[in-house]
């Protein structure tokens, strides 16, 4: 009961922030779904890619999601259920909303088979279509008891993207030098370098466990923001050399039977 009371107290005073920097960018909440794939194509191959039409209201804030498909055509439609002027002003936000129709081609057949699921449509910029290495400042969530290990697979949610990656955790020292960590620090922030679709700096990052892991006590592993997208950034790994000395020259030494061993932090 004490844990439930603490959770309720935490929720009552917490501030809700958007996970994406697109807090004021549009998205479409799909209201009507239609499969417009030619029937002869479907009869030849049931699992073929489909052409679908999505209709819905254009909104002004975004939610994270998955799936990238180019929009073939978009057109504005008249609202089938218009609101009176007074009601529109009381609700607010609908004056700038538009009822739109989207035609998307090359969609997997699974989308048509599961057409009852809610659909959110959002857009990405040309810069976000590129992939590369990103550096994000991460902080392990206080409710996550285990430390995150370097190169362990995680699921990252950044803006509209959600994908699996293998990060390398590091700490930044003097002159911007990054030294690799075997796992995340207990109570400090660290730098995570990982490969994925690029996102602008200051974009919110959420690290979660596998969505299929229903036995996980808590899914959010860490939170943070994108720090940089510098492709030339390097992470150095600290190693200790263990062996027997053979020749010593002032501050230099030659060893034999040399072994390499990582230093765990």
Which letter does DSSP use for residue 175 in this model? G
pLDDT digits (tens, 9 = 90+) for 149-171: 999 999 998 887 888 999 999 98
Q: What is the rounded CA–CA span in Å between residue 42 and residue 49?
A: 9
Rounded to the nearest angstrom, the gap between the alpha carbon of residue 175 and the centroid of all alpha carbons in its chain is 29
Residue 244 tokens, joined? 């027997």
Residue 208 tokens, joined? 């979660």
Query: Residue 89: which pLDDT band, with cuts at 50, 70 and 90?
Result: very low
Distances (CA, A) of 153 to 14, 51, 207, 209, 215: 29, 34, 10, 9, 17
Residue 110 tokens, joined? 């699974």
Radius of gyration of the chain (CA): 25
Q: What is the rounded CA–CA span in Å between residue 182 and residue 262?
A: 9
Looking at the chain, the whole-number percentage of residues with pLDDT higher than 90 is: 7
State mean pLDDT over 187-198.
89
Q: What domains sit in the chain, N to C, each tagged with a CATH number?
A: 16-122 (no CATH), 129-236 (2.40.30.10)
| Nearest alpha carbon to residue 205 among 133, 125, 134, 113 | 134
pLDDT score for 263 = 47
Which run of H or E residues covers position 89? helix 85-91
Average pLDDT, the chain: 75
């Amino acid at each position: 009961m004490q844990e439930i009371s603490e959770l309720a107290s935490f929720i009552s005073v917490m501030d809700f922030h958007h996970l994406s920097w697109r807090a004021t960018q549009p998205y479409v909440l799909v209201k009507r779904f239609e499969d417009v794939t030619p029937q002869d194509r479907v009869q030849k191959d049931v699992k073929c890619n489909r052409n679908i039409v999505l209709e819905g209201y254009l909104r002004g804030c975004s939610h994270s999601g998955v799936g990238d498909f180019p929009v073939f055509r978009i057109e504005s439609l008249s609202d089938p259920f218009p609101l009176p002027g007074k009601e529109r002003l009381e609700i607010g936000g609908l004056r700038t909303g538009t009822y739109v129709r989207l035609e998307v081609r090359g969609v997997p057949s699974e989308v048509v088979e599961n057409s009852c699921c809610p659909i959110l449509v959002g857009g990405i910029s040309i810069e976000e279509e590129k992939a590369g290495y990103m550096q994000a400042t991460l902080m392990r969530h206080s409710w996550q008891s285990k430390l995150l290990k370097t190169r362990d697979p995680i699921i990252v949610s950044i803006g509209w993207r959600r994908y699996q990656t293998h990060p390398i955790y590091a700490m930044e020292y003097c002159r911007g030098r990054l030294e690799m960590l075997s796992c995340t620090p207990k109570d400090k922030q660290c730098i995570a370098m990982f490969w994925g679709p690029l996102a602008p700096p200051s974009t919110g990052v959420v690290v979660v466990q596998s969505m299929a892991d229903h036995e996980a006590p808590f899914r959010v592993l860490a939170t943070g923001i994108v720090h940089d997208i510098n492709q030339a950034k390097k992470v150095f790994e600290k190693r200790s050399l263990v062996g027997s000395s053979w020749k010593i020259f002032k501050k230099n030494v030659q060893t034999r039977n040399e072994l390499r061993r990582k230093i765990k932090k």
